Structure 1
Amino acid sequence: MLYQSIVEATELPRIIRLERNVYGAVFSLMKLLPARFMIDRAEDNGALTPQTTVIETSSGTFGLGLAMVCRMRGHRLRIVGDPAIDKNLRARLRGLGAEVDIVESVGRTGGYQRARLDRVAELCEQYPDHFVPGQYDSKDNPNAYGHAAELITATLGGADCLVGPVGSGGSTGGMASFLRLAEPDMRLIGVDTHGSVIFGMPDEPRLVRGLGNSLMPANVQHDAYDEAHWVNAAETFRATRELHETRSLFMGPTSGAAYLVARWWAARHPDAKVVVLMPDEGYRYQDSVYSDEWLRENGVRQDELPARPQLVGAPSSAGTGWSYTEWGRRTLTDVLSGDSSGRGLVAAGAAI
């Protein structure tokens, strides 16, 4: 097949069998898909013209996806990031023509995410003709995953369970909404990390990048999820290394966390077809996740993974290790208020 650009050639995943009933939707750069989709929609509706400046907040792969698309289309791009953007990624963004603003201090609330959004607002005043894709709240983010869902359906005939990391909420929520058109009972499992507000924990510093959030993205539709898991940094990095060592898949840490959860759930449901989202490759993490020295320096080197997560009754009981709760397609308010209308929460601390 002849592709017209690298974006077209790499935006969709490869479907790879990882276990007897576990299939990976393995992306080189998953955020290319919503980046291209958002730019398409903006061009189509006139929000983005050759004179328009694209402004977006990102500390990772969405910024890279936007830079690739904007370079191919000839659009000016300003990315607002934070110190998590390592020097190699900064160089690549600038090589693609993006201007990179680094926010050096955190906001009073919401951490770097709030500080970055405040800087985006300042730049919007500076550039009256601007377009902000808005990965955290634009419905074009989840809507972008229709083609990927079609690929999964065409390849596997659908899925009984979808497992994926949650950052903006776009990929898991969007993919599930399309897959559930054919399989309404398909389970959706969201994978988060400790210190993220997405599934009800307090905001705290996080070592895992690309997973979780300090602010609640509007694109997280809580009532779409059947389970929520929290995987800590050491577990995430060990699972990522194990994915490489056992399956030769050189992926980022969000993929490792999702794989850990998917493998466990699939073993307990051997007749279910499980699809796990793996968002990006591991090249950005060679000096961190794949470095024994870095892991030791940060106190997150771990040789073995827990055999199972701890089942808890509420986010406040999640502790510091891999744990999960039966979310039951409820709203965040219902979960945090201990709603027990027909889907009561299990007793905190119970394990299976």
Structure 2
Amino acid sequence: MTKSSAPFREITEATLLPKVVRLGPNLYGAVFSLMKLVPARYILRRALERGELEPGTVIVETTSGTFGLALAMEAALLERELILVSDPIIDARLHRRLSDLGTTVVIVEHPAAEGGYQASRLARLAELRAGLPRTFCPEQYSNPDNPASYRIVAELLRDTLGQVDCVVGPVGSGGSLCGTVRALRAQTPHTRAIGVDTHRSVLFGQPDGPRLLRGLGNSLLPANLDHTVLDEVHWCSAAEAFAMTRWAHRHHALFQGPTSGAALLSARWWAEANPDAVCVVMLPDEGYRYLDTVYDDEWIDGQGIDVTAPLPDKPVEVLHPSSPAGDGWSRYPWQRRGLEAVLAEARA
């Protein structure tokens, strides 16, 4: 047997990039096992190069999602202690896996009056850092290394598909969509960006409120969300996202999480409306964390959701992002403007 000349890779490097799969005549999915490995690995390796992650340095971060898992995997490989500040909504399966990787998970019990759990988590994070001699915080919401890390994703898409005319992706920290599209636009300035959010998220001007659909949206505005990158913004309900997630599993054998379902709903519509354009949808993580929720019929029934109900053919276009048309799928032509410029229209 001939020994391969390719270097052996760590698991986080080997599973870093997505598989690009065809979902329609002009629609392609960037299917990640764990998309947050891209920024987690890049941020920590850059910190290591800069001498900010010497032995004894504790990595600390606030997260209730897959960025925490990505950090835990990298921290285990780098042999660094990791403390994550989360909240009671953290998925039980994720919590168990984090603990098994050696991560300390600190749970804040009460949301802040403004900013909800994310604000209270940030406050607890600051307390922890003040009590430790040496820490490093990846700061996924504000660290420019987050969007910068997605240059390799853009390169993969360009190498695989050639010209990419539109990228659709869920928005949480803003890093994945903004970073990928900015890198693509270095060669194709026309490449469109469609950000997918959920109702009662502050990212695009709606008031903060409870959200059943997790993994996208935010109660605070992250610095890494560059609103001027966005051509359109879509809002998707939990019911629509869950139904589309199950549809993708049945019809495309895509076993992904609900943020993927939300993005796919918008991407399928855009691709069908623009048959001569190449559209890519970002599908961030696999479905294993959602076996007890999105993929469980009893849990779905308990939420009063019918995942077999027909999905709308197109989104409702709203006049302004602060006044959505109910809780259903809607869209707003953002036109690469800053948040303040868009919100000023409502005050005019």
Calculate the TM-score normalised by the size of structure 1: 0.95
Q: CA deviation at 1:23?
A: 0.5
Question: % of aligned pairs identical?
Answer: 54
Matched residue SS, 1:23: strand
Q: Which residue is 2:203 aligned to?
A: 198
CA–CA distance in 2 between the matches of 1:332 and 1:299?
34
- Equivalent residue for 2:315, pick from 286, 301, 309: 309
Q: Counterpart of 1:86? A: 91
Which residue does the alignment assign to 1:277? 282
**Shift of the alpha carbon at 1:297?**
1.1
The reply to whether residue 176 of structure 1 matches residue 181 of structure 2 is: yes
SS for the counterpart of 2:203 is: coil
- 1:330 aligns to 2:337 (yes or no): yes
CA contact (8 A) 2:320 2:346 kept: no
Paired letter, 2:102: G
Structure 1 residue 317, shift from structure 2 partner? 2.6
In 2: Cα distance, 1:204 partner to 1:340 partner: 22
| Counterpart check, 1:22 vs 2:27 | yes
The code of the aligned residue for 2:129 comes to C
* Inter-partner Cα distance in structure 1 for 2:41 and 2:233: 29
Deviation at 1:313, TM superposition (A): 1.3
Aligned-pair CA distance for 1:186: 0.6
Deviations 1:211-251 (A, max 9, x none): 10000011100011000000011001001111111100000
Q: 1:317 aligns to what SS in structure 2?
A: coil
Contact 2:255 2:286 in 1 (8 A): yes
Residue in 2 that maps onto 1:147:
152
Cα distance in 2 between the residues matched to 1:217 and 1:340: 23
User: Aligned partners of 2:16 and 2:9: how far apart in 1?
Assistant: 12
Which consecutive segments of 4 or more residues in structure 1 shift more than 3 A?
none
Question: Which residue does the alignment assign to 1:120?
Answer: 125
User: What does the per-residue CA deviation read over 1:158-187, in whole Å, with 9 as the maximum and x for residues that have no partner?
Assistant: 300000000000000000010101100110
Matched, 1:253 2:249: no
Q: Which of 325, 328, 335 is equivalent to 1:321?
A: 328
Which deviates more, 103-112 or 311-320?
311-320
1:162 has 2:155 as partner: no
Note the alpha carbon deviations across 1:94-118, whole angstroms, 9 max, x for none. 1111111011111111111111111
CA distance in 2, matches of 1:29, 1:3: 20
Match of 2:50 in 1: 45
CA distance in 2, matches of 1:58, 1:234: 24
How far residue 299 of structure 1 moved from its aligned partner, in angstroms, is 2.0
**CA deviations over 1:66-95 (Å, ceiling 9, x no partner):** 000010010110011112222221111111
Aligned to 1:344: none
Q: Is the 8 A contact 1:292 1:301 kept in 2?
A: no
Structure 1 CA distance for aligned equivalents of residues 141 and 225 of structure 2: 8
Aligned to 2:15: 10
Matched AA of 2:339: L
Please tell me the residue identity of whatever aligns with 2:340: T
CA RMSD of superposed structures (Å): 1.3
What SS does the corresponding residue of 2:23 show, helix, strand or coil?
A: strand
Q: 1:198 is paired with a residue of what secondary structure?
A: helix
- Secondary structure of the structure 1 residue equivalent to 2:210: coil
Structure 2 contact 206–323 (Cα < 8 Å) conserved? no
Q: Which amino acid aligns with 2:334?
A: W
Distance 2:7 2:213 in 1: 37
Q: 5+ unaligned residues in a row in structure 1: which ranges?
A: 342-352
Q: CA separation of 1:122/1:22 partners in 2, compared to 1, >3 Å: closer, same or farther?
A: same
Do the aligned partners of 1:13 and 1:25 also contact (CA within 8 Å) in 2? yes
Inter-partner Cα distance in structure 1 for 2:46 and 2:24: 37
Matched, 1:35 2:24: no
Alpha-carbon distance between aligned partners in 2 of 1:340 and 1:175, rounded to the nearest angstrom: 32
Instruction: Specify the SS of the correspondent of 2:119.
Output: helix
Q: Which moved more, 1:330-339 or 1:120-129?
A: 330-339
Gaps of 5+ in 2: 1-5
Q: Which amino acid aligns with 1:308?
A: K
C-alpha distance in 2 between matches for 1:258 and 1:116: 27
Query: Aligned equivalents of 1:340 and 1:86: distance in 2?
Result: 39
Shift of residue 3 of structure 1?
Answer: 3.5
Give the conservation status (yes or no) of the 8 Å contact 1:243–1:250: yes
Q: Deviations over 1:283-312 (max 9, x none)?
A: 000111111211121223342211110011
Separation in 1 of the partners of 2:158 and 2:262? 24
Alignment of 1:208-223 (within 5 A): 208-223=213-228
